[in-house]
Amino acid sequence: MTGRPERKTRKPDRAALGDIRIEPKLLVDEVASRIRGLIFGGRLRPGDRIVETDLAEMFGVSRPLLREAIRTLQAERLCVVTPHRGAHVPVLTWEDAIGIYHVRELLEGEACALCAAAITEEGIGGIEGALLRFSDAVKSEDAAGRIAATEQFYARILAGCGNPVIEEVLQGLIARISFLRARSMGCPGRSYHSYVEMKDICDAIRRGNPELARAAAIRHVRNAREAARAAFDVADSPR
């Protein structure tokens, strides 16, 4: 009796499959994002050490991967690595904050004016969508959601302003800007006022009025600066 011929297994052609490996960088980005959340949420405060063993265990990742995430945050100036001490959250002084708010006032005012002059229906739809997400986050008291929606709001404006240099400069400050936003929006009532001010910016852009958009953006930054100043005073006051 003859048996069935043995079926040969075929090794798949790797070239035909393409590159389907899981990209480690995606995991690095996710870990970096979670550490940012700890910093913006106040669980890691300025001056606190970023303990590799603790975070690696918390996130269920290897220490080399965690170090790669820390290097990402180091490039954003959200952490500092010093010999014999390791990584820690830097202390952002009020003098540092003043410089950042000054740059924001100049560049965001200009970006909003340029955006108002060139806005499209698709562009204003994106801005309004981000504003709606911010409103929902304010109502649900979702601190992380407020920061994310604000970043989306300004990302849409920067994308529509037509000046990639303004976008590039502000993107280089985005992590520190978000840290300051987390502080200022922690002040009672500030999130609601932020929504009103952002709505004024959105309305001016929708109307295609550059000067009104610039004025609304500058007013928003100045009010945010004063709220942050109050938060710095509370943080620096003796307990």
| Per-residue pLDDT, 82 | 87
Distance between CA atoms of residues 153 and 115, nearest Å: 12
The dihedral through the CA atoms of 177, 190, 46, 105 has a sign that is: positive
- pLDDT score, position 20: 46
Domains located in the chain, CATH noted? 22-88 (1.10.10.10), 94-236 (1.20.120.530)
For the stretch 35-43, contacts whose Cβ atoms lie closer than 8 Å and that sit 24 or more positions apart, written own/partner, are 35/69, 35/70, 35/73, 35/78, 35/79, 36/73, 36/78, 36/175, 36/178, 37/144, 39/78, 39/89, 39/179, 40/143, 40/144, 40/147, 40/178, 40/179, 40/182, 41/143, 41/144, 41/182, 42/182, 42/186
- 69 within 8 A of 31, measured Cβ to Cβ: yes
What radius of gyration, in Å, describes the C-alpha atoms of the chain? 23
How far is it between the farthest Cα atoms of the chain? 94
pLDDT at 238: 43
70-103 tens-digit pLDDT: 999 988 888 999 887 889 988 888 999 999 999 9
Q: In the Cβ-directed half-sphere of 123, how many Cα atoms lie within 13 Å?
A: 23
Inter-residue contact 116 to 210 (CB < 8 Å):
yes
Q: What is the pLDDT of residues 148-184, one digit of tens each?
A: 999 999 999 999 999 999 999 998 888 888 888 888 8
Cα 16 from Cα 81, distance rounded (Å): 44
CA distance linking residue 93 with residue 232, whole number of Å: 9
Q: What is the pLDDT of residue 237?
A: 46
pLDDT of residue 144: 85
pLDDT in tens, the chain (239 residues): 455 555 555 555 555 545 545 455 688 989 998 898 888 877 888 889 999 889 999 899 999 999 999 999 988 888 999 887 889 988 888 999 999 999 999 999 999 999 999 999 999 999 999 999 999 999 999 988 999 999 999 999 999 999 999 999 998 888 888 888 888 888 888 999 999 999 999 999 999 999 999 999 999 999 999 999 888 876 554 44
Q: What is the pLDDT of residue 8?
A: 56
Check residue 122 and give its pLDDT. Answer: 94
Cα 50–51–54 angle (5° rounding)?
125
Cα–Cα distance list, 215 to 108, 139, 162, 230 (Å): 10, 26, 19, 23
Q: Six-digit token pair at 157?
A: 């404006």
